[in-house]
Structure 1
Amino acid sequence: MVCETRTTCPYCGVGCGVIATVDDAGAVSVRGDPEHPANLGRLCSKGSALGETLDLDGRALFPMIDGRRARWDDALDLVAARFSAAIDAYGPDSVAFYVSGQLLTEDYYVANKLMKGFVGSANIDTNSRLCMASSVAGHRRAFGADTVPGCYEDLELADLIVLAGSNTAWCHPVLYQRIASAKARRPGLKVVVIDPRRTSTTDIADLHLAIRPDADVALFAGLFSHLVRAGAIDQSYIARHTTGFAEAFAAVDLSMADLIEATGLPSMQLREFFRLFAETEKVVTCYSQGINQSSCGTDKVNAILNCHLATGRIGRPGMGPFSLTGQPNAMGGREVGGLSNMLAAHMALENAADRERVQRFWNAPSIAQRPGLKAVDMFDAVADGRIKSLWIMSTNPVVSMPDADRVREAIRSCPFVVVSDIVAHTDTARLAHVLLPATGWGEKSGTVTNSERRISRQRAFLSAPEEARPDWWQISEVARRMGFGEAFDYSEPHQIFAEHAALSAFENNGMRDFDIGAWEAVTSEAYDALQPFQWPQRAGTAPSETRFFGDGVFYHGDNRARLVPVKPSMPAHHANEQEFILNSGRVRDHWHTMTRTGKSARLSAHMGEPFVELHPLDAEKVGIADADLVDVRGGSNKGVLLRALITERQQRGSVFVPMHWTAETSSLGRIDTLVPPLVDPISGQPALKQARVAITRYEAKAYGFAVSIAKPVLDECSYWAIGKAEHGWRTEFALDQSVLDWEKWARAALGIAQDAQVANYRDEATGQVRIAFTSAGHLVAAIHVDRRPVSASRDWLASQLMKDISKSTEYQDVLAGRPGRNRPDPGAIVCACFGVGANQIAQAASLGCMSVEAVGEALSAGTNCGSCRPEIRRIIDAHQPIAAE
């Protein structure tokens, strides 16, 4: 019997609805939910591959104490005892929780309640500090509350969409497709992309502003000044609904020459952007990590908000600022006070009346009286011994935090570390004194909130494996053992959601933005049937699509918004020509530290190893060729090894490196080891996009590529990166020393049985070695070695694992590293959804498919999530016939 469950995707903040289907054999398939208002049936490549990520390989399945399996009671008793002992001896601030936007709202709520109301400390922070804290701080400064005014529908109603610091095509693909579809229906819709890199998002841009890194304050300050001088502001709205206009205007007195110097943009582009914004009423400005992850991120946010407030373009259909959240439940975490400087239900930790109200509602013995430690400060406190006990939930700070090596050493030196996770061997989980196995997506039940304030259910459709338990249950059990049992007497997640809803309505009376009081008495049955809805939904009201601030009423005491003075800074000049600005971010098909997406062979096919993207002229200057290995070093002289990807999409003077690779998936790919712990002084958000690095070519003795059915062990390699293949693993590697017997080396490194048959090719002159290993005629491993980076059809080689290659021509193809003429090579995967390669697209173009739509009709490429459409278009353009002069 086939079982279908409506649930919500666990990746980005778009919050797509999915339908998970479990067949009679237990196999899971996933498709978009056409009834969910966030995605209307669309899914990105990551969401489409969710069914491929649910195996138990690498899962944490049992509680572990000091690396040994333990009983749940013993593990929970130990956690409660060690936290209680630290509090008794050193006070409440000697313990801390570091939590995650991967948690469900119910998990987040219980953790926040325990720490702030019963431990009595605000030392609970979240990895959302790394992605959305500047947006929170900017909202609170301008609006008096952390309120996202608009909704996704505004993207389809706008006449101008500004995408600032957001590679929407790769990081929020479904929203990108909604924009692309709207633009196709209404060609008059204009799109401006503000990004130092020419990303896939610029494919739909009418104007791409390739600004200098961190020049966003200057750009939007210049826009604000232009709006005032051009008479494009709404003076009535400003007078009735805002304060601080004169001070905000006085702070942005920039000449055009200053703007050109600060932004690096030509005056023609600046004037065109200013004209578009001034003359278009329906403007939506979407912004993401390029704005937030900065030492001036909060000022960037307020510079954007100032432009919308000064024109009154906020809270009405098709207009407003729009923060695009990075994680599936970053918004839910903000609602329950998951940040160390916030209280639950959007109440203010600095407000004594709010503190008293929450303490009274919880009937808590105490309430945190001051903000706790923000993420960077928290790990500083772990390092210097102020934090004695630390609980890390569903996140991997050893990879994702700035100065990641210092964070690793801080955790290693902490007297007591608890890690709750679904994965047993993350870089962080390896350091745990107690590892608690958590339930994962498909197994746990609760709610998440997406970027447009829409609350959706995540529903379980799989049984919890072995002894894995929900995070809320783990926290509640520890709370009971610490003596707080009555307040944490939950048996089902709907009870937590009901309490969360009741607190949101408690003594609210419309004074606070977050209110879902309509659900304070929700039953288990009603919770199970809960349909996606936007907050607020106050008691006695029906769900409705909502916007904030269209009536000009804000959440400061005088109900007015604040225009915040922001002072643009001029760009710092490089100390020398060898120095580059490091920009980190995501790739299309992977998510965070790849504990989930790394399990999918097709998601690993698009970008198979960590890389550094740099401009051709910069590469020439430092002597780096495409596919070389590159040593990237930061100010502390720490280094990472990455593959060079040379492209004119990258701005000169800057390099881009993805943030996904870990010590589990690469030798030296943890890019945040190079990022100093510089933070925005208001939000505490780290500046993950402005580190300074030096790059040099890395010379190895031998370079290699391998495929194998066994997971490789590559301790001898100076460089390695591994990824999943359909029937095993694909591996890039390099060595600093010569190897005399490659067959022997490969058998040890790739786990090849001694009775495997061997076919090989060697060229002593070039140093090329190619070996195929078979068992009963089926390929179990292959290795290609060269003195230069290996040239081979990697995706095709990986696809040959476990295939019968007993015919001599098939052996020869594997040794050659590409299929023979009678077997076409699809090339590097471009469309992950349908497994379509670059060579297939190029062939279709040569046969007359000269549009993305035509390629889609012929090959299906680009017809699902659409994230690959810009790449398809580039391949088509490269094969356009050149007209004779």
Structure 2
Amino acid sequence: MGEIRTTCPYCGVGCGVLAAADGTLRGDPEHPANRGRLCSKGTTLGETLDQPGRLLHPEVDGKCASWEVALDEVAEGFRKALAEHGPQGTALYVSGQLLTEDYYAANKLAKGFLGTGNIDSNSRLCMASAVAGHRRAFGEDLVPGIYEDLELADLVVLVGSNLAWCHPVLFQRLQAARAARPSMRLVVIDPRRTTSCEGADLHLPIAPGGDVALFNILLRHLHVRGFRSEAPGLDTALAAADGETGLDPALLATFLDWFATTPRTVTLFSQGANQSSAGTDKANAIINCHLLTGRIGQPGAGPFSITGQPNAMGGREVGALSNMLAGHLDWDRPAEAEALRGYWQTPNLAAGPGLKALDLFRAAGEGRIGALWVMATNPAVSLPDAGRIREALRRTPCLVASDCTRESDTVDLARIRLPALGWGEKDGTVTNSERVISRQRAFRPALGEARPDWWAIAQVAARLGWGDAFAWAGPSAIFREHAALTGLARPAARAFDISGLADLSDAEYAAMPPTRWPVVRRGEQGGRLSPPARFVPTPYRPPANAPSPAYPLVLLTGRLRDQWHTMTRTGSVPRLMAHSPEPAAAIHPADAAGLADGSLARIESPWGEATLRLRHDPGLARGGIFVPMHWTSRFAPSARINASVNPAVDPISGQPELKHTPVRLLPAPMAWHGFLLARRSLGADLADWTALIPVGAALWRHELAGTEPPAEAFARLRALVEEPEAAWVLLEDPAAGLHRAALLRDGRLLACLFLAPDPAALPRRDWLIFLFAEAAIGSAARRALLAGALAEGPAPSPTLCVCHGVTEAVICASIARGANTPALVGEATRAGTGCGSCRPEIAALLTKTPVPEPA
């Protein structure tokens, strides 16, 4: 079999991929989203296909079971929950990792036949505020613009979006457009100076939570400048447009002027805006400014919500949020609910919205949920106040988890575990952020006993007596049902209509090219949308929990360039761990309370705590701490930051306040710090603080710190890696607190262990890692190993370009030889010529590395 056209399973850009059964892949040059580009995560997808830790067989109560037994147990659990608690005692928590067909089946089971609105998605953490903002402004959840608008715009404003890291393919499209049209401007509105700021024309370091105030000021400014609109609600919105930003007046004035004088303006907003107790108002404050200037649905203009997950949009289309019905239908229009009831031929349609994510898990913790089915997501890690979430999962009598991996904190807690298909095995559709429906196609056979999520749902439905309504022969039949549903007669028109695809044959579905909705008739394809809209008043409200003398700092959580959600796919790929291998907290040096760069620090909030490596970052606004949200019990148990995040939510969208938690910073005193390099993983429970890092096909790095006496820790850790016929080479200086050891057999390095009283006294890991590749190391290398430093020659440099494996030292050397632009560095080293997400870092190096004067 040759290359198969499929779609990347990571972010909402929805890149096309050409993949082969052996795992080799490349970007699809014909896909409209990426035109052949892939990011670092997409480039390494082939390295995730045969990961250890796949869930290959059903499990019940920790033991392997047949599918028949496992499905019977799921059905019995839901049957018992219905009997004891009624429909509201059942729930599903699903994910933007599901295909639209899986999502549709899950929503139909919950809302149509279990009779509960209690189906919510991890999109609640990602896009719920944008959804609510769209619905308030446009009467429907829709994104008016398309990706091409980012290239046609004369001004692009990024709000709460580190596009360079989180959606790098779009960022590269934007940067290519800027290179072709130097007059094009980029503004970044973010409390952090992120990589997206490199080369930006303006950075507004707004305080967390200040976005509504900024766009309220912009709305008033635009009105003063003479902009008018006939859309309803303008006077009310202007009257409510209050708030102060605290921004430098000159920076603010520049932004206001640029926005007012640039007709082709796109405002792209993402999690930094959405993940807020005022997230819905942030979306509407942005939309208000575009509505007043008429910049909606025009080429190069519009508010643009960019999603985090590959199929967040598809989940919204099928109604897999607790407050939505399928096909953008609404409960508050009774005729639409009746139309859906008739279409599904069910007497059990949910009477109204169900519980949003945090309320759902709160109900589970209170014993009100008897059966909960979690699909393709990891709420034990990803939700705020995660300690309480874990306890709620433990309390749920029938907790079912469907996933392709066994390496998930949530799967650990589940009573019933169902093996789902992984990427490359799935077959269905996803919808990206510009409303393009693309096919995910299988190009490998299913591993073990893994099955499609929609199939497992249909099997449970049949056991509960509803088999006829779920008797699909395959995903194409589900897609046709979903598409036909979107054409139901409605009292109010909807832009979302793909009924023109409802009669696709199986062959046409199999061959379906990327298609943007709406598709009302076959052969048509949607473009920009200019929906009727209204202004929505957005009075400024401060974040739900303000800093205090006890908790004076503000915690923001976010993402790293090369990691995905809770690392279940990316965490075991050495290339993706190379860029940011340890869980770290970034803080402005003036806020570090005397704690050194590289030391361990404890971050505490009223809800929990986490211990992380502290990194001084002058690009972070004073008063804030930034921590990536990815680490789990598998990789760094003490660094699970969402245990500390406050559970406040937006009152309209229910989206959590993930960007504003009051915290305090404390030292994390340890008796020793160290690391262990070994040819196998020893897990993440080796010491009081552990970070587990894959660094090669058979090499693992364990970063460690502990409170036990160093000599005892040294002996205990050595015992974990001892092997027959291997010998230790030791160097110990107890008075200085130094303990070093290397385990060798026939000259081959099997493990090395270093302990010191301070992390700064430990050697760099890079050059030690290279010694493990040698068949045998000589006496000079052994002496250098125990000395903790190379006797001669430069130490290996960290990898900066993951796509091509180019180190920082190689890039700096090319700059020193005269490569004085990112393009010239790319020509000399290939760095930045893959996904391009390292190009901002290359640009930063160019400002630091001396470039020789022309001869």
TM-score by shorter chain over 0.5: yes
Match of 2:772 in 1: 801
1:265 paired to 2:247: yes
Choose which of 546, 562, 569 in structure 1 pairs with 2:527.
546
1:729 paired to 2:710: no
- The 1-side partners of 2:495 and 2:529 are apart by 9
Alpha-carbon distance change, 877 to 816 in structure 1, aligned in 2, over 3 angstroms: farther
- The 2-side partners of 1:714 and 1:402 are apart by 22
Choose which of 530, 547, 556 in structure 2 pairs with 1:583.
556
1:559-610 Cα deviation digits (max 9, x unpaired): xx11001112367874228621000000000000000001210100111111
- The 2-side partners of 1:709 and 1:509 are apart by 65
Q: Which runs of 5+ in 2 are unaligned?
A: none
Counterpart mapping for 1:835-846 below 5 A: 835-846=805-816
Match of 1:3, SS state, is coil
Are the equivalent residues in 2 in contact too, given 1:773–1:781 (CA < 8 A)? yes
Identical-pair percentage: 49
Alpha-carbon distance change, 869 to 745 in structure 1, aligned in 2, over 3 angstroms: same
Measured after TM superposition, the shift of residue 345 of structure 1 is: 0.8
- The 1-side partners of 2:398 and 2:425 are apart by 28
Match of 2:191 in 1: 196
Match of 2:388 in 1: 406
Alpha-carbon distance change, 460 to 716 in structure 1, aligned in 2, over 3 angstroms: closer
Counterpart mapping for 1:813-824 below 5 A: 813-817=784-788, 819=790, 821-822=792-793, 824=794
Are the equivalent residues in 2 in contact too, given 1:211–1:265 (CA < 8 A)? yes
Alpha-carbon distance change, 665 to 345 in structure 1, aligned in 2, over 3 angstroms: same
Match of 1:369, SS state, is coil
Match of 1:606, SS state, is coil
Q: Which runs of 5+ in 1 are unaligned?
A: 555-560
How many residue pairs get aligned? The number is 850
Match of 1:691 in 2: 661
- The 2-side partners of 1:92 and 1:742 are apart by 53
1:459 paired to 2:430: no
Alpha-carbon distance change, 454 to 326 in structure 1, aligned in 2, over 3 angstroms: same
Choose which of 713, 738, 746 in structure 2 pairs with 1:776.
746
Counterpart mapping for 1:640-679 below 5 A: 640-679=610-649
1:196-236 Cα deviation digits (max 9, x unpaired): 000000013101000111000000000000000111x2x3x
Match of 1:88 in 2: 83
Match of 1:748 in 2: 719
Measured after TM superposition, the shift of residue 347 of structure 1 is: 0.9
1:274 paired to 2:256: yes
- The 2-side partners of 1:524 and 1:721 are apart by 48
Match of 1:626 in 2: 597
Measured after TM superposition, the shift of residue 56 of structure 1 is: 4.0
Match of 1:296 in 2: 278
Measured after TM superposition, the shift of residue 28 of structure 1 is: 1.2
- The 1-side partners of 2:701 and 2:504 are apart by 49
Measured after TM superposition, the shift of residue 177 of structure 1 is: 0.5
Are the equivalent residues in 2 in contact too, given 1:795–1:829 (CA < 8 A)? no
- The 2-side partners of 1:121 and 1:569 are apart by 33
Match of 2:728, SS state, is strand
- The 1-side partners of 2:271 and 2:12 are apart by 12
Measured after TM superposition, the shift of residue 507 of structure 1 is: 2.1
Match of 2:578, SS state, is helix
- The 1-side partners of 2:664 and 2:151 are apart by 43
Match of 1:16 in 2: 15
Counterpart mapping for 1:207-222 below 5 A: 207-222=202-217
Measured after TM superposition, the shift of residue 743 of structure 1 is: 5.9
1:153-181 Cα deviation digits (max 9, x unpaired): 00010000000000000000001101111
Are the equivalent residues in 2 in contact too, given 1:718–1:735 (CA < 8 A)? yes
Match of 2:839 in 1: 869
Choose which of 566, 587, 593 in structure 1 pairs with 2:538.
566
Measured after TM superposition, the shift of residue 833 of structure 1 is: 1.2
Measured after TM superposition, the shift of residue 304 of structure 1 is: 0.2
Match of 2:567 in 1: 594
Alpha-carbon distance change, 814 to 48 in structure 1, aligned in 2, over 3 angstroms: farther
Match of 1:353 in 2: 335
The amino acid of 2:631's aligned partner reads W
- The 2-side partners of 1:816 and 1:464 are apart by 49
1:489-512 Cα deviation digits (max 9, x unpaired): 012111111111111122259911
Are the equivalent residues in 2 in contact too, given 1:587–1:658 (CA < 8 A)? yes
- The 1-side partners of 2:785 and 2:186 are apart by 46
Measured after TM superposition, the shift of residue 882 of structure 1 is: 10
Choose which of 479, 487, 495 in structure 2 pairs with 1:505.
487
1:141 paired to 2:136: yes
Are the equivalent residues in 1 in contact too, given 2:602–2:610 (CA < 8 A)? yes
Are the equivalent residues in 1 in contact too, given 2:784–2:790 (CA < 8 A)? yes
The amino acid of 1:566's aligned partner reads T
Measured after TM superposition, the shift of residue 730 of structure 1 is: 1.2
Are the equivalent residues in 1 in contact too, given 2:674–2:762 (CA < 8 A)? no
Alpha-carbon distance change, 509 to 684 in structure 1, aligned in 2, over 3 angstroms: closer
- The 2-side partners of 1:65 and 1:569 are apart by 47
- The 1-side partners of 2:553 and 2:662 are apart by 6
Measured after TM superposition, the shift of residue 78 of structure 1 is: 1.1
Match of 1:826 in 2: 796
Measured after TM superposition, the shift of residue 90 of structure 1 is: 2.0
- The 2-side partners of 1:513 and 1:367 are apart by 24
1:52 paired to 2:47: yes
Are the equivalent residues in 2 in contact too, given 1:605–1:795 (CA < 8 A)? no
Alpha-carbon distance change, 808 to 484 in structure 1, aligned in 2, over 3 angstroms: same
1:440-495 Cα deviation digits (max 9, x unpaired): 10111111000000000111111111111110111010001000000000121111
Are the equivalent residues in 2 in contact too, given 1:679–1:685 (CA < 8 A)? yes
1:611 paired to 2:581: no
Deviates more, 1:870-879 or 1:736-745: 736-745
Are the equivalent residues in 2 in contact too, given 1:582–1:654 (CA < 8 A)? yes
TM norm structure 2: 0.97
Are the equivalent residues in 2 in contact too, given 1:632–1:694 (CA < 8 A)? yes
Measured after TM superposition, the shift of residue 530 of structure 1 is: 1.0
Match of 1:760 in 2: 730
Measured after TM superposition, the shift of residue 83 of structure 1 is: 0.4
- The 2-side partners of 1:748 and 1:361 are apart by 65
Match of 2:400 in 1: 418
- The 2-side partners of 1:578 and 1:460 are apart by 50
1:33 paired to 2:22: no
Alpha-carbon distance change, 715 to 89 in structure 1, aligned in 2, over 3 angstroms: closer
Match of 1:379, SS state, is helix
The amino acid of 2:373's aligned partner reads W
Choose which of 317, 321, 335 in structure 2 pairs with 1:339.
321
Match of 1:97, SS state, is strand
Deviates more, 1:659-668 or 1:348-357: 348-357
Measured after TM superposition, the shift of residue 819 of structure 1 is: 5.0
- The 1-side partners of 2:94 and 2:70 are apart by 19
Are the equivalent residues in 2 in contact too, given 1:852–1:869 (CA < 8 A)? yes
Are the equivalent residues in 2 in contact too, given 1:444–1:470 (CA < 8 A)? yes
Are the equivalent residues in 2 in contact too, given 1:166–1:290 (CA < 8 A)? yes
Match of 1:557 in 2: none
TM norm structure 1: 0.94
Match of 2:651, SS state, is coil
- The 2-side partners of 1:573 and 1:691 are apart by 8
- The 2-side partners of 1:500 and 1:149 are apart by 22
Measured after TM superposition, the shift of residue 369 of structure 1 is: 1.2
- The 2-side partners of 1:570 and 1:507 are apart by 42
Measured after TM superposition, the shift of residue 817 of structure 1 is: 4.8
Choose which of 224, 234, 255 in structure 2 pairs with 1:245.
234
Match of 2:548, SS state, is coil
Match of 1:855, SS state, is helix
Measured after TM superposition, the shift of residue 754 of structure 1 is: 3.6
Match of 2:710, SS state, is coil
Match of 1:484 in 2: 466
- The 1-side partners of 2:346 and 2:788 are apart by 66
Match of 2:119 in 1: 124
